[in-house]
Amino acid sequence: MSTTTTPEPVETQTETVHGTTLKSNSLGFIGIAFFVVAAAAPMAAFVGAGPVLFSIMGPGVPLVYVLVALVIALFAVGYLKMSRHIVHAGGFVAYIARGLGRHAATGAAGIVIVTYIALQVGFWAQFGVFAQQLAAGWLGLDLPVWVWALAFIVLTTALAMRGVDLNLRVLGLLLVAEIAVVAILVVGIMIGAAGNPPSLESFSPSQLANPGFGVAVLFVFACFTTFEATTVFSEEARNPRRTIPLALYSVVLFVAIFYTVATWAVSYAVGPDQVQQAAADDLAGLIFGLAATYVGPWLDVTMQVLVVSSFIAMLIGMQNMFARYGFALARAGVLPSPLSRVSRRSHAPYAAALANGVVVAVIVLAFLLAGADPIEVVYAWFVALGTVGFIVMMALASLAIVVFFLREKVERGFWTTKVAPAASLVLVVAVLVIALQNYDAMLFSEGATAKLLLWFIPIAFALGALLPTVKKDIDYESVVTAVA
């Protein structure tokens, strides 16, 4: 008798306003960290963005990674202090709801949708190019970019619909391989270039005067855009009060160290005085060339394969994160309620994952089949838009944190509740100004259309902010959980 009646009250307790719930206590620190680091695509960003950054900034690239990581770490002080009172798959939107109210939060939700769809569209186009080149070069299989993009959108959407358990196994294998290969490259350079004079020029404050500094900040910020996922997974976390802060700081620390050490090794191998020109001369092959020279051709080939798998890992992580965002927004009444449905067995937000996959696939196919260049148009335009959108969201979240701690006397600590959040707000707004001033640099091709896409951000915010006036049932508070 007891075995049949026990589950019923548990289901009642976990039921939300729309009768849906994610799988609680299913993710530990390692699981969340895997998702977020994989979504940052360390291998793909190192190989793809690293040479571009060197061509813009010269040897000071490692310093830019350190500075951006410090800005995010400062933001995390107040963000994590506030997370003690919120467990919600809505990420920044949930924080903005508590700090600035329903209208601002729903406006931010509009920006969230624009941001993460734009990032996925841009990265899928870039993935398609790398996959096409790898398959054509090594397998003799020369298929169009859109075929590779569509095939893997279908695959990763299916994985996102299945649940976190399967995704974690896939991500774990891919991520460990990426880290191991870059570590081998760094060790190989340190041994093979031991005769080079050691240089800390990359970390000299004089690098900040480089005219490419503002552009580099924008590119580097794009490498950190997924750290928000640590709180998006909070409803599924074990002991979120401990797990989420540990995961967030671990992710920021790992990503900062990974990129800083890896890019410094490149500068060390090529030479601080020569790395900018070397990168400009060979954007696509600089890192692969170093792998072949300092370790062997096998590492060159392995890295080419892992760059493609790194994109897959990144997009699995990003799709899982945005599916939970879509689920949370549907549960709160912002998006259609069917998107809040979850799988009976895995409690994965399959409806939101499927909708996300369909929307991204349609946009990617529309641009590529219309003849748009996958890198100079689709990747450049949409990643630039997504990066600015993320910084705007972060600025709104910073303001919400400041207001929350001024109004709510729920925490002590002058530094954590007042100074750090205020300083973070100033710095994030400064980064936003830098982003807008250097927006053209993210666009490989000039064009009024690319800049017009920026209007999606204020338009999405305005439409979202007006929605609660029409739709009275939007409710974030009913699914925002205080942590005891």
> Which tops the pLDDT comparison, 154 or 318?
154
| Res 466: pLDDT | 94
Residue 8 lies in a domain: no
Residue 11 reports pLDDT greater than 60: no
Residue 142 reports pLDDT greater than 70: yes
- Quick count: other Cβ atoms within 10 Å of Cβ 191? 10
For 353-375, the pLDDT digits (tens) are 999 999 999 999 999 999 999 98
Residue 1 lies in a domain: no
For the ranges 115-129, 305-319, 422-436, which has the lowest average pLDDT? 305-319
Token pair belonging to 374: 């996958």
| Res 481: pLDDT | 40
Going by C-alpha positions, the residue among 393, 414, 350, 455 that lies closest to residue 99 is 393
Q: What are phi and psi of 133, to 5 degrees?
A: -65, -45
Specify the number of domains making up the chain: 1
Residue 54 lies in a domain: yes
Residue 210 lies in a domain: yes
pTM to 2 decimal places: 0.83
Residue 429 lies in a domain: yes
Question: For the chain, what is the largest distance between any 2 Cα atoms, rounded to a whole number of angstroms?
Answer: 77
* Sequence-separated (6 or more) residues with CB below 8 Å from residue 57: 64, 207, 210, 212, 213, 215, 216, 276
Q: Give the pLDDT band (50/70/90) at residue 47.
A: confident
Positive/negative CA dihedral, 324, 326, 328, 331 = negative
- The CATH number for 45's domain is 1.20.1740.10
Token pair belonging to 386: 């997504």
Query: Across residues 79-87, what is the average pLDDT?
Result: 75
For 391-409, the pLDDT digits (tens) are 999 999 999 999 988 887 7
CA distance 74 to 425: 10
Residue 89 reports pLDDT greater than 80: no
> Which tops the pLDDT comparison, 170 or 203?
203
Residue 16 lies in a domain: no
For 257-289, the pLDDT digits (tens) are 999 999 999 999 988 889 889 988 887 788 999
Token pair belonging to 149: 């993009």
CA distance 439 to 334: 30
* Sequence-separated (6 or more) residues with CB below 8 Å from residue 463: 107, 110
Give 27's strand partners: 237
What is the residue type of 75?
F
**Domain limits at 93?**
29-479
* Sequence-separated (6 or more) residues with CB below 8 Å from residue 239: none
| Res 477: pLDDT | 66
Contacts from 186-189 at CB under 8 Å and sequence distance 24+? 186/261, 186/262, 186/265, 188/291, 188/294, 188/295, 188/299, 189/265, 189/266, 189/268, 189/269, 189/290, 189/294
Residue 122 reports pLDDT greater than 60: yes
Residue 23 lies in a domain: no
Helices (H), 88-210: 92-100, 102-138, 145-162, 164-192
Residue 440 lies in a domain: yes
| Res 398: pLDDT | 92
| Res 24: pLDDT | 62
Query: Across residues 192-207, what is the average pLDDT?
Result: 80
Half-sphere exposure of 454 (CA within 13 A, CB side): 18
